[in-house]
Structure 1
Amino acid sequence: MLRALDIRDILIIDHLELNFQPGLNVLTGETGAGKSILLDSLGFVLGWRGRAELVRQGASQGEVVAEFELSEGHPAHAVLEEAGLPAGRELILRRVNTAEGRKTAWVNDRRCSGEVLRALSETLVELHGQHDDRGLLNPKGHRSLLDAFAAVPDLLLQTRAAWTTAAKARKTVEATRAALDAVRAEEEFLRHAVEELDKLNPEPGEDETLDARRRQMQGAERVRGDIARAYALLSEGADPSLGEAQRWLEGVEGAEEIGLTEPLAALSRAMIELGDAQDGVERVLSALDFNPGDLEDCEERLFAIRALARKHDVLPDDLAAYADTLREKLAALDAGDKDLADQEAALRDAEAAYAAAAETLSAARRDSALALDTAVMAELAPLKMERAVFETRITAGAPGPEGHDDVAFTVATNPGAPAGPLNKIASGGELSRFLLALKVCLRGEDRDKTLIFDEIDRGVGGATADAVGRRLKSLASGGQVLVVTHSPQVAAQGAHHWRVQKRVTDGMTLSEVVPLSETERVDEIARMVSGDTITKEARAAAGALLTG
């Protein structure tokens, strides 16, 4: 609910402080007194796009502050939380416009963007008037209005869930098809590459092993001859001489006494070391002994592995893993048709579930459309439009999260006349009454928003204007309605009344808003009845309206 509006240096307003109340708040005044400026100012602080030049002439900046009271479950709390702004029962919006055109906004003393203000305004205020394209005149919102009247949140949730499931299934099928198409495009390459890799069957680390073996065999050809000659000398030259020397020394009498023990021991050790040397050289020769064809085979496999690695742009050690990857692609291709068939079956089931949910929602909408039409027609009769026809049309539209229905409110002002959109068929006065009848029927239990009606009674008078006022008063019950009106019958229904008037100060015309006492209300309504000259009869009529 809008509690207060503080306006400074906006157009012809120097400073206004307005404190609004629950119920029906009425703003009256002569044409040009500045009633529309109040709505422009409220729209400015709510982030609506309006006049470009708002700052009062001679002022450096204009400022509007709006104070709202929020209930515990008010939708504005969600907007504040998403924007990271402080929230509580009190919501204060402030917006400044400099003379240079720069605009700055705050929510609860925290800087914010115009987008946040507009998001908040959708939860705070609803404006209705002959030129309003934000509310009932906007066909894009008619389906959600019908759904609110039908009270079908469960069906909407089921339809949205079914749509989400079907959309996910559709994406899965599309992804699988794309993957299979991509694999099929390279199927010939994959099968040839896997066959080639399987035939070679490279193993991790094999490249390094083959390279080391190749270098060993290449080096062996160079050194084997030298090692063989050394082995021949060790085996044939040194061994007999040492053995014969050892036998002669061992045959000497008194060898120990004359000091031959240590030489004999050394000679024995030499014989052992020589044998070890012979065995070691022999082992080396055996290791270096290979078939010349082995080197050729080793080089051939090494070069084949490296050529295949270059061909597929991978490291030689990664060839085995690369082959596994290609096999997985082929396996996916081989199993893909079955997977795709299963996914397509799941998609058909999901689409059938969505179609069923959407059709159930459509049936509920059709039933509720008939009920809404009946309710609106009942409201039109007291508004002197008993010959008009209101119809909620439901046509097939593009499927989406909220079903496959397009909804439009249409009217025919006279029997037999063609029906059409509200804003194209009805005249100004008729349109106002259609909008009011619709709003009365669609209000329901929603009392979170402040409803604003801008001269919705234009073009009507007498009993019709009285009916308009009574319905506005009914709408304000338990909530808050602001109405700008020229109709005394409507003004008389207000719980709170303000008069918008002009005054001239120091040669400058300014607009002001004055709260009216009961006596002042009589005079103001009498002025609305008779004009500038207030007669006794006009006062009597005003009193009758106020007590009636």
Structure 2
Amino acid sequence: MLRRLHIRDFVIVDELELHFADGFGALTGETGAGKSILLDALGLVMGDRAESGVVRTGQARAEMSAEFDLPAAEDLAAWLDEQAIEVDDDALLLRRVVDQNGRSRAWINGVSVTLTQLREVGAWLADIHGQHAHHALLRADAQRSLLDTYAGLEDLAREVAGAWQTWQKARQACQRAEADAAGVAQERELLEWQVKELEALDFEAEAWRELELEHSRLGHATGLLEGVCAAVDALDEGELPLVGELERLAARLAELAAIDPELQSLHDLLNGAAIQADEAVHGLRRYRDRVEVDPDRLAEVEARIAAVTDMARKHRVLPDALAEVLAERRARLDALLSDADPPALQAKAEAAKQAYAVAAERLSAARAPVAKTLSAQVSAAMQTLAMAGGQFEIALLPESDGSAHGNETVEFQVAANPSQPLRPLAKVASGGELSRIGLAIQVITSRAAAVPTLIFDEVDVGIGGRVAEIVGRMLRELGQQRQVMCVTHLPQVAAQANWQWSIAKAQRDGETVSTVTVLDDAARIDEIARMLGGVNITETTRQHASEILGLTPAG
């Protein structure tokens, strides 16, 4: 469960440190006081997308952190182990920082994580039902997703979607092969010729580089030979060989250095030069003996270079890329040969269809009993929410050809009273009815969820009176199993809470900030009285508030 939430410089919150209790808690206050801001901050800690506007005016960044008890979930423990996140004292600390540009960073127990990882761990810790969650139930995709999530069928639904995509791609391959058989045959013929021509060239990038070097040597063989011979003559084979002269000078300096040691370093330099010059002579002779003018080999090399460059020009690439061109042509030819085999394509499509059919049938079989159970539970809840005789049903409408979502369309249907037939929820539910039905669905599905903390943000909009009291009792009952929090404007709902906070705006140093007050029994009476009677609180409204709370007013 959620134990602590720390917020700094978020919207109109300068800094808040909030400690949460068990059971059912109500967050109340005037409209715009910042009740939903607290939940928005918690949502960011759990991986919601951030915008620059969340940073309080004049500040560089907003910071939020939330401490949760570690749920006893084996899959969560395995996930944390995979991410190399250590857990101390059975607690998880989630932290998020958002700067003025909307960029953010996140941590779990001090380990830097991505938003995806933050969302993944957040799904085990808390579930936030937003203000407009019941409106989402009007969408077909939301209805299907709710059923599959409640039934624990998300993985199977993804498997069905994947099988559908595979089947459709196989069908499309068959259709393309039939529609463009002549074009495919022509392209295949061209590719076969290109592959054969490139293979005959037998091009290798390393051999090409060596060939270019050899061509450079052969093309300049005469000049290279003349230059090397001239160097050998000057150093050792001419009338005044430089090597011999250096050796004589080094010997003379050796005699002089015996007289004046200061000349020893100069002798060493000259003697080294003589040695290196002698080594150069040996190397030049070896090179001279190896170099030869070979016009036949030069012509052969130039012919090979011409063949390679012509091929590269034909394919509009540099010579070094010819190997890649051959690989691409082979891959495309293999694909065409595969696609050009109608029996093989048809067999592949049939196999994909069968795989989809098996997965879709499993999904249908798993959905049916859960849809029936959930329909009965929501119908029962409607009877207590001033919709006596009303009926709710999750209809699984068959789709003849199936879809990425299975063999049926999931449709929420409702009859608000016994005299009405079942019709799609999107077409018949009024605003108040939709709020009550949506709240019933959220509470019922939350009971089955493993998430330890449930948060409802003004989901009780559109109800009041006796129904509001029933809703409060439903949330209080749910709070016996989970930690439940509800942002509400209804005194009947707030009065059922085990604990209550009041959120208000205040002026501090010329700025508007949001404050949170933990209410004791006397303060709860005043807050419930405000919710009942507005600005002017009378003794009558205070007495009514105390009766709702089951408390005795002070004084």
Fold conserved between structures, TM > 0.5: yes
TM-score range, shorter chain: 0.5 to 0.7
Per the alignment, do residues 51 and 345 of structure 1 end up closer, same or farther by CA in structure 2, a change over 3 Å counting? closer
Task: Show the counterpart of 1:394.
Answer: 396
Q: Which segments of 5 or more consecutive residues in structure 1 lack a partner in the other structure?
A: 193-308, 314-331
Distance in structure 2 (CA, Å) of the matches to 1:418 and 1:186: 58
Distance in structure 2 (CA, Å) of the matches to 1:364 and 1:450: 27
Task: Show the counterpart of 2:482.
Answer: 479
Per the alignment, do residues 397 and 17 of structure 1 end up closer, same or farther by CA in structure 2, a change over 3 Å counting? farther
SS at 1:390's partner residue? strand
SS at 1:448's partner residue? coil
Distance in structure 1 (CA, Å) of the matches to 2:112 and 2:182: 52
Q: Which has the larger radius of gyration?
A: 1
User: Letter of the aligned partner of 1:498 in structure 2?
Assistant: W
Cα deviation code 1:458-493 (max 9, x no counterpart): 232222111101211233332222101122221122
Cα deviation code 1:187-245 (max 9, x no counterpart): 999999xxxxxxxxxxxxxxxxxxxxxxxxxxxxxxxxxxxxxxxxxxxxxxxxxxxxx
Task: Show the counterpart of 2:386.
Answer: 384
Task: Show the counterpart of 2:544.
Answer: 538
Q: How many residues align?
A: 423
Per the alignment, do residues 351 and 21 of structure 1 end up closer, same or farther by CA in structure 2, a change over 3 Å counting? same
Per the alignment, do residues 148 and 506 of structure 1 end up closer, same or farther by CA in structure 2, a change over 3 Å counting? closer
Cα deviation code 1:414-446 (max 9, x no counterpart): 554884445x75444333211221123323532
Distance in structure 2 (CA, Å) of the matches to 1:52 and 1:412: 45
C-alpha displacement of 1:51: 6.3
Per the alignment, do residues 467 and 173 of structure 1 end up closer, same or farther by CA in structure 2, a change over 3 Å counting? same
The answer on whether the counterparts of 2:53 and 2:102 sit within 8 Å (CA) in structure 1 is: no
Distance in structure 1 (CA, Å) of the matches to 2:105 and 2:192: 66
Distance in structure 2 (CA, Å) of the matches to 1:128 and 1:50: 18
SS at 2:54's partner residue? coil
Task: Show the counterpart of 2:211.
Answer: none
User: Letter of the aligned partner of 1:430 in structure 2?
Assistant: E
SS at 1:14's partner residue? strand
Cα deviation code 1:149-180 (max 9, x no counterpart): 44668976986897699689879989999999
Distance in structure 2 (CA, Å) of the matches to 1:104 and 1:114: 9
Per the alignment, do residues 533 and 117 of structure 1 end up closer, same or farther by CA in structure 2, a change over 3 Å counting? farther
Distance in structure 1 (CA, Å) of the matches to 2:432 and 2:67: 32
Distance in structure 1 (CA, Å) of the matches to 2:520 and 2:400: 54
Distance in structure 2 (CA, Å) of the matches to 1:346 and 1:11: 56
The answer on whether the counterparts of 1:447 and 1:479 sit within 8 Å (CA) in structure 2 is: no
Task: Show the counterpart of 1:362.
Answer: 364
User: Letter of the aligned partner of 2:495 in structure 1?
Assistant: A
Cα deviation code 1:280-317 (max 9, x no counterpart): xxxxxxxxxxxxxxxxxxxxxxxxxxxxx99xx9xxxx
Per the alignment, do residues 129 and 434 of structure 1 end up closer, same or farther by CA in structure 2, a change over 3 Å counting? farther
Q: 1:6 aligned to 2:12?
A: no
Per the alignment, do residues 123 and 181 of structure 1 end up closer, same or farther by CA in structure 2, a change over 3 Å counting? farther
The answer on whether the counterparts of 1:489 and 1:545 sit within 8 Å (CA) in structure 2 is: no
Per the alignment, do residues 501 and 533 of structure 1 end up closer, same or farther by CA in structure 2, a change over 3 Å counting? farther
Task: Show the counterpart of 1:101.
Answer: 101
User: Letter of the aligned partner of 1:378 in structure 2?
Assistant: A
Task: Show the counterpart of 2:36.
Answer: 36
User: Letter of the aligned partner of 2:71 in structure 1?
Assistant: S
User: Letter of the aligned partner of 1:46 in structure 2?
Assistant: M
For structure 1, which segment, 181-190 or 343-352, has the greater mean C-alpha deviation from structure 2 after superposition? 181-190
Distance in structure 2 (CA, Å) of the matches to 1:190 and 1:428: 64
Per the alignment, do residues 389 and 130 of structure 1 end up closer, same or farther by CA in structure 2, a change over 3 Å counting? farther
SS at 1:6's partner residue? strand
The answer on whether the counterparts of 1:25 and 1:495 sit within 8 Å (CA) in structure 2 is: yes
The residue correspondences of 1:127-166 to structure 2 (distance < 5 A) are 127-132=128-133, 136=137, 139-150=140-151
The answer on whether the counterparts of 1:465 and 1:487 sit within 8 Å (CA) in structure 2 is: yes
What percentage of residue pairs aligned between the two structures are identical? Answer: 41
The answer on whether the counterparts of 1:397 and 1:406 sit within 8 Å (CA) in structure 2 is: no
The residue correspondences of 1:156-195 to structure 2 (distance < 5 A) are 185=186
Task: Show the counterpart of 1:467.
Answer: 470
Give the TM-score normalised by structure 1.
Answer: 0.61
SS at 2:44's partner residue? helix
Distance in structure 2 (CA, Å) of the matches to 1:10 and 1:155: 40
Per the alignment, do residues 501 and 468 of structure 1 end up closer, same or farther by CA in structure 2, a change over 3 Å counting? same
The answer on whether the counterparts of 2:173 and 2:339 sit within 8 Å (CA) in structure 1 is: no
User: Letter of the aligned partner of 1:13 in structure 2?
Assistant: V
Distance in structure 2 (CA, Å) of the matches to 1:490 and 1:497: 11
The answer on whether the counterparts of 2:390 and 2:415 sit within 8 Å (CA) in structure 1 is: yes
Task: Show the counterpart of 1:274.
Answer: none
Per the alignment, do residues 19 and 177 of structure 1 end up closer, same or farther by CA in structure 2, a change over 3 Å counting? farther
User: Letter of the aligned partner of 1:486 in structure 2?
Assistant: H
**Which of the residues 448, 451, 464 maps onto 1:448?**
451
Distance in structure 1 (CA, Å) of the matches to 2:55 and 2:135: 25
C-alpha displacement of 1:185: 4.7
Per the alignment, do residues 417 and 134 of structure 1 end up closer, same or farther by CA in structure 2, a change over 3 Å counting? closer
The answer on whether the counterparts of 1:526 and 1:541 sit within 8 Å (CA) in structure 2 is: no
Task: Show the counterpart of 1:24.
Answer: 24
Give the TM-score normalised by structure 2.
Answer: 0.60
Distance in structure 2 (CA, Å) of the matches to 1:191 and 1:76: 54
User: Letter of the aligned partner of 1:404 in structure 2?
Assistant: N
Per the alignment, do residues 534 and 428 of structure 1 end up closer, same or farther by CA in structure 2, a change over 3 Å counting? farther
The residue correspondences of 1:384-423 to structure 2 (distance < 5 A) are 384-386=386-388, 388-395=390-397, 396=399, 399=402, 403-411=406-414, 413=416, 415-416=419-420, 419-422=423-426
User: Letter of the aligned partner of 1:503 in structure 2?
Assistant: A
C-alpha displacement of 1:186: 8.2
**Which of the residues 508, 518, 527 maps onto 1:505?**
508
The answer on whether the counterparts of 1:67 and 1:93 sit within 8 Å (CA) in structure 2 is: yes
The answer on whether the counterparts of 1:159 and 1:358 sit within 8 Å (CA) in structure 2 is: yes
The answer on whether the counterparts of 2:395 and 2:412 sit within 8 Å (CA) in structure 1 is: yes
Cα deviation code 1:110-165 (max 9, x no counterpart): 34444444444444433324423897565324324323444668976986897699
C-alpha displacement of 1:379: 0.6
User: Letter of the aligned partner of 1:528 in structure 2?
Assistant: M
Distance in structure 1 (CA, Å) of the matches to 2:3 and 2:138: 27
Task: Show the counterpart of 2:374.
Answer: 372
The answer on whether the counterparts of 2:71 and 2:452 sit within 8 Å (CA) in structure 1 is: no
Per the alignment, do residues 410 and 478 of structure 1 end up closer, same or farther by CA in structure 2, a change over 3 Å counting? same
**Which of the residues 449, 458, 461 maps onto 2:461?**
458
User: Letter of the aligned partner of 1:63 in structure 2?
Assistant: E
The answer on whether the counterparts of 1:76 and 1:124 sit within 8 Å (CA) in structure 2 is: no
Task: Show the counterpart of 2:532.
Answer: 529
For structure 1, which segment, 123-132 or 181-190, has the greater mean C-alpha deviation from structure 2 after superposition? 181-190
Per the alignment, do residues 338 and 102 of structure 1 end up closer, same or farther by CA in structure 2, a change over 3 Å counting? closer
The answer on whether the counterparts of 1:136 and 1:435 sit within 8 Å (CA) in structure 2 is: yes
User: Letter of the aligned partner of 2:479 in structure 1?
Assistant: A
Cα deviation code 1:310-364 (max 9, x no counterpart): 9xx9xxxxxxxxxxxxxxxxxx9xx999986477456535534542552353254
